[in-house]
Amino acid sequence: MDVSKYWRERGLTYFQELNEQPSYQKKRLIQQENFLLSHISNFKFKSILEIGCGSGRYTKILSTKFKPEAYLAVDISKEQIEKAREYVNDDKIEFICTEIQNLKLDMKFDLVFAGETLMHINFDEIEDVIQKMISYSKDKIISMDWYDEDNIGCIGLDYCFMHDYRALFIKNNVKEFTMNKIPLSLKLKVINRYALLRKRVGIEQQGMTFVSV
């Protein structure tokens, strides 16, 4: 099964999955959100392009925080788009159902954002996607993804591809690149260690890329 087909099909149930996941995973997401906001609170973004908006978790956070004049949210799943539109409940936000690979726009945005999206792009497509994100950005690109230097080039569960984001962005001549690892709380570290000892899937290390174009 190709990645696009996988996510179109999983999009049918993903909103329910998100709400039914264990409490420790929900806490991880909250930590992720707080980490992002702590790094961008001093910025002003009048226009935002969100790649892979899913059911609108970050759409609501970013639109509420920055109140941009223009917000375009894109996702591959029409079911996710419908959930996001309902969850965010803001007529000023435009939603488009498409793959980033097929997205064609004639405008640029102050912020291009992708939350846990780039890690689901195939190795042979990721550079084209990053080039497209750069082409749509006036200023900043931020992405939140699974990231572990020791596993670059590996593929995890649910079509998670470990990309070398630093090399990919620097190759495409961005002005600034920073990778910030998102710390786990002590409780989540203990849960993660326990899961790994039992040879179960632990909590993936997350990183936030911060790029100036």
Write down all domains in the chain, each with its CATH number in brackets.
3-212 (3.40.50.150)
Give me the mean pLDDT over the 187-204 stretch. Answer: 60
Q: pLDDT band for position 197 (50/70/90)?
A: low
- CB-CB neighbours of 213 under 10 Å: 19
Q: d(Cα 48, Cα 111) in Å, to the nearest integer? A: 5
Among 16-25, 33-42, 113-122, 157-166, which stretch is predicted with the lowest mean pLDDT? 16-25
Q: What is the pLDDT of residue 111?
A: 98
Provide the pairing of β-strand 137-146 with 206-212: antiparallel
Higher pLDDT, 34 or 151: 34
Token readout for 69 is 């004049």
| pLDDT at residue 76 is higher than 90 | yes
Q: d(Cα 163, Cα 93) in Å, to the nearest integer? A: 30
Provide the pairing of β-strand 70-75 with 93-97: parallel
Give me the mean pLDDT over the 141-162 stretch. Answer: 86
Q: What is the pLDDT of residue 198?
A: 61
Containing 96, the helix (H) or strand (E) segment is strand 93-97
pTM beyond 0.75: the answer is: yes
Instruction: Say if residues 151 and 124 touch (Cβ distance below 8 Å).
Output: no
Which residues sit opposite 144 in a β-bridge?
Answer: 115, 208
DSSP notation for 28-70:
HHHHHHHHHHHHHTT---SEEEEES-TTSHHHHHHHHHH--SE
Q: d(Cα 71, Cα 88) in Å, to the nearest integer? A: 12
**Closest to 72 in 3D by CA, of 57, 51, 56:** 51
Q: What is the pLDDT of residue 19?
A: 78
Q: d(Cα 51, Cα 103) in Å, to the nearest integer? A: 10
What would the pLDDT profile of 35-55 be if each residue is shown by its tens digit?
Answer: 999 999 999 999 999 999 999
